[in-house]
Amino acid sequence: MKRLVKGGRVISPAQNLDASVDIVIEDGKIVQIGPDIMCPEAELIDAAGLVVAPGLIDMHVHLREPGLEAKEDIYSGSRAAAAGGFTTIACMPNTKPVIDNAILVSGLIRQGKLEGAVNIKVIGALSKGQEGKELAEIGDMIYAGAVAISDDGHWVNNAKLMRLGLEYTGMFHKTIISHAEEDSLVAEGVMHEGAVSAMLGMKGRPAVAEDIAVARDIMLAEYTGASLHVAHVSSRGAVELIRQAKQRGVKVTAEVTPQHLALTDADVTGFNTAMKVNPPLRSRDHVEALLEGLKDGTLDILVTDHAPHAFEEKDVEFRYAPSGFAGLETSLGVILTALYHTGQFTLPEIIRFMSARPAALFGLDGGQLIPGAVADITLIDPDREWTVDSRNFYTKGKATPFEGKKLKGKAVATIVAGNLIMQNGEVKI
């Protein structure tokens, strides 16, 4: 069956394409792109007034399978992804049991194909049980299809293990994604350490904990020649360290989340547990550094760090609540509101961060609109105004720091391998 996406502004940063063209899809692939295409036999997808982008890709998602399905599962998480405009998501291994062997990786890939609304990629753990003691079955997991290796949720405290992990993962030309927060400095901390934590009397997680962890990881990446990707960068110091390392030619890349760009530690003053996340929301000065880093290419991609928890887990005092919250269904709206509608970033830049660049960095299909490419496409209305209401979320983890916020910009259709799986917020599969 053929489909014709007609009348939109097609933006594909990988091709430097930004033009009013139409796209013909057949058998799950893009077969033609050009102006004023007539194709009477095709089903029409009207994109007039919309941006047509390569499907959004999120390299940092907690799908919670196996074992933590009260928080999320592949079915609900992938539908949240579709609702948010994502066509590919990569899931983190901090599950129960931890995804640290090939059987789990291949099982999840299989389950993702059976139950997933979008493409599901799997990230394997660096250490067995994410205990930071001995390497997991890294080679086997990569052969089974793992797209990257990470102990996300934990810093790899043991430098020797991190060195071995980098050397070994590098042999397979894959990347280690580091959750960079030095343990001893953040232990028991619940928010960014600074004026606001002092005022609230809450134990802090200082930015220097992130700086130290990033510095060590960069040194090990430089020493081993292996590639390192820094997860959810949130501190000014980390941005500067990554900038300098890139200038030296170290194989380091980095990601940043909407929450770390759009919120600050001042948002924690209401003790709303939906504001609790690791690394913590930081002060304005750090946010400015993240925006500068994104602008000059120090930070490569945008990710959600979608980290859903069950309602009752978040419905406790701030100190006792787990860190993390849902992000898939608010990410694009928050980014367009905070970055595009403020005039700081263009749509092609944002689409590069959310699709073209993650596809290129992690060697994934998609990320471009070109004949022959898989027809993973997101239709975006950059001017659609809407109010965040978690009751409408597909994710099980309803906590969001953006509850009740008015946003401008939304994905209005998601196409995966040529199939229209989400339209106007409704997921159809």
Ligand X SMILES: NC(=O)N[C@@H](CC(=O)O)C(=O)O
SS3 112: helix
Is 305 one of the binding residues for ligand X (CB under 6 A)? yes
Asked if 121 and 149 touch (Cβ cutoff 8 Å), the reply is no
Task: Based on the shown chain and the rule CB under 6 A, indicate whether residue 314 belongs to the binding site for ligand X.
Answer: no
**SS3 of residue 417 by DSSP:** coil
Nearest distance from C-beta of residue 118 to ligand X, angstroms = 19
Residue 56, beta-bridge partner list:
86
277 binds ligand X (CB under 6 A): yes
| Per-position x/- string for 88-117, each x denoting binding to ligand X as judged by CB under 6 A, each - no binding | ------x-----------------------
Find the shortest distance in angstroms from Cβ 152 to ligand X.
Answer: 6
Q: Which is nearer to ligand X, 69 or 305 (CB)?
A: 305
262, two tokens:
């759009």
Task: For the segment 199-228, give every residue that binds ligand X (CB under 6 A).
Answer: none
- Contacts with ligand X, 228-267, as mask; x by CB under 6 A: ----------------------------------------
267 is in an annotated binding site: no
Q: Is the torsion defined by CA of 352, 354, 357, 360 positive or negative?
A: negative
* Choices 51-59, 320-328, 331-339, 416-424; region in contact with ligand X by CB under 6 A: 320-328
Is 395 a binder of ligand X (CB under 6 A)? no
Stretch that binds ligand X, among 6-14, 295-303, 322-330, 332-340 (CB under 6 A): 322-330
Q: Is 323 in the site for ligand X (CB under 6 A)?
A: yes
62 near ligand X, rule: CB under 6 A: yes
Question: Helix or strand or coil: residue 361?
Answer: helix
The verdict on whether residue 278 carries a ligand-binding annotation is: yes
Instruction: Classify 173 in phi/psi space as left (phi over 0), alpha (psi -120 to 50) or beta.
Output: left
Q: Is 63 annotated as a binding residue?
A: yes
Structure tokens at 299: 């930070």
Name the phi and psi angles at 217, rounded to 5: -65, -40
Q: Of 234 and 414, which CB lies nearer to ligand X in the complex structure?
A: 234
- Site map (CB under 6 A) of ligand X, residues 123-162, x = contact: -----------------------------xx---------
Task: Give me the sheet containing 426-427, strands edge to edge.
Answer: 17-20, 9-12, 51-54, 377-387, 406-416, 419-423, 426-427
* Residues whose CB is less than 8 angstroms from the CB of residue 184 and which lie 6 or more positions away in sequence, other chains included: none
* Cβ proximity to ligand X, 4 vs 61, nearer residue: 61
Q: Identify the DSSP state of 316.
A: S
Q: How far is the CB of 384 from ligand X (least distance, A)?
A: 28
Query: Look-up: residue for tokens 């595009």?
Result: 340
Burial 365-378 (b: 16+ CB within 10 A, else e): bbbbbeeebbbbbb
From start to end of 199-281, where are the E strands? 204-205, 228-230, 252-256
179 lines the binding site for ligand X (CB under 6 A): yes
Active site residues: 305
What is the spatial distance between Cα 33 and Cα 25, in angstroms, rounded to a whole number? 9
Whole-number Å distance between alpha carbons of 58 and 357 = 11
Residue number with CB closer to ligand X (63 or 374): 63
Is 30 or 196 the residue whose CB approaches ligand X more closely? 196
**Using rule CB under 6 A, residue 122 touches ligand X:** no
Position among 78, 259, 278, 331 found at the interface with ligand X (CB under 6 A): 278
Q: Does 60 bind ligand X (CB under 6 A)?
A: no
Q: How far apart are CA 224 and CA 220, in angstroms?
A: 6
End-to-end CA distance of the chain: 18
Q: Which is nearer to ligand X, 189 or 366 (CB)?
A: 189
Residues contributing to the site for ligand X (CB under 6 A): 62, 94, 152-153, 179, 277-278, 305, 307, 322-324
From the annotation, which residues make up the binding site for substrate?
A: 62-64, 94, 278, 309
